[in-house]
Amino acid sequence: MVTFDVVAFLVACLLVLSFQRVGGALLAYRGIRVITCPQTSQPAAVELAVWRGAVRSVIGRPGLRIHECSGWPERRGCDQGCVHEIAAAPADSLVPNILTRWYQDKACACCGNPLRQIHSGRRQPGLMSPERKLIEWKEIPPQNILQVLATAGPVCRACVISETHTW
């Protein structure tokens, strides 16, 4: 005979497992991503409908859907084929991860020091345009990041501070 305690324990276990799946999906699929739009073959910045996908992850695979896209409103009715690119490698398209990989094993264009740990929070390094203009990450629309990185040079945080600080 099954007692109330056993049923309560099983329900609690199912709830814990469900919350773990939802939490894992929330962590994996949050943030702005840069993908290649299947319709235009151009970079686009997208943000997923994270809660929808996280809740659906409890019953199986997350139902990934785009919540925001830099290609909208012009292409709002698209088939959202780019979610396959995100599902295949969720971390690869995240903007902070793209930037961190790009800075890896590079030296500062101003002082020549090797860039070590890159922070995507408040202490971000910068970029140097071909015209020798300092660019901060927040100045770049996410959909243009790959284009900017193709021609920019890395700048360490210390040089960003010294170049932008006015006394």
Q: In terms of domains, do 83 and 105 share one?
A: no
pTM of model > 0.75:
no
- Domain range holding 73? 4-88
Of the three residues 41, 67, 88, the one that is the final residue of a domain is: 88
What pLDDT does 74 receive? 85
- Whether residues 133 and 160 fall in one domain: yes
CA-to-CA distance for 109 and 135, rounded, in angstroms? Answer: 12
Q: Is the pLDDT of residue 88 over 60?
A: yes
- The average confidence (pLDDT) of the chain is 80
Q: What percent of the chain has pLDDT over 70?
A: 73
Highest mean pLDDT among 10-19, 35-44, 49-58, 69-78: 35-44
Peptide bond into 73 cis (omega under 30): yes
Residue 21: closest CA among 47, 48, 59, 71: 59
Determine the pLDDT at residue 107. Answer: 94
pLDDT at 118 over 60: yes
45 with 111, same domain: the answer is no
Check whether residue 11 and residue 61 sit in a common domain. yes
The reply to whether 82 and 110 lie within a common domain is no
Mean pLDDT of 81-103: 87
Final residue in a domain of this structure, among 53, 71, 88: 88
Residue showing tokens 């609690």 = 12
Instruction: Tell whether 11 and 65 lie within a shared domain.
Output: yes
Better-scored residue on pLDDT, 53 or 87: 87
pLDDT class for 44, splitting at 50, 70, 90? very high
The rounded distance, in Å, linking the Cα atoms of 139 and 99 is: 14
Residues 25 and 48 in one domain: yes
Give the model's pLDDT for residue 56: 61
Q: What is the pLDDT of residue 70?
A: 92
Distance, in Å, from the CA atom of 155 to the CA atom of 113, rounded to the nearest integer, reads: 9
Q: Give the per-residue pLDDT at 124.
A: 81
Query: Is the domain of 67 the same as that of 116?
Result: no
Q: What is the CA radius of gyration of the chain?
A: 21
Do 61 and 13 reside in the same domain of the chain?
A: yes
pLDDT of amino acid 130: 93
Say yes or no: 62 and 83 in one domain: yes
Q: Among 31, 58, 88, identify where a domain stops.
A: 88
- Are residues 83 and 10 both part of a single domain? yes
- Total number of domains constituting the chain: 2
Mean pLDDT of all residues in 73-90: 85
23 and 84 within one domain: yes
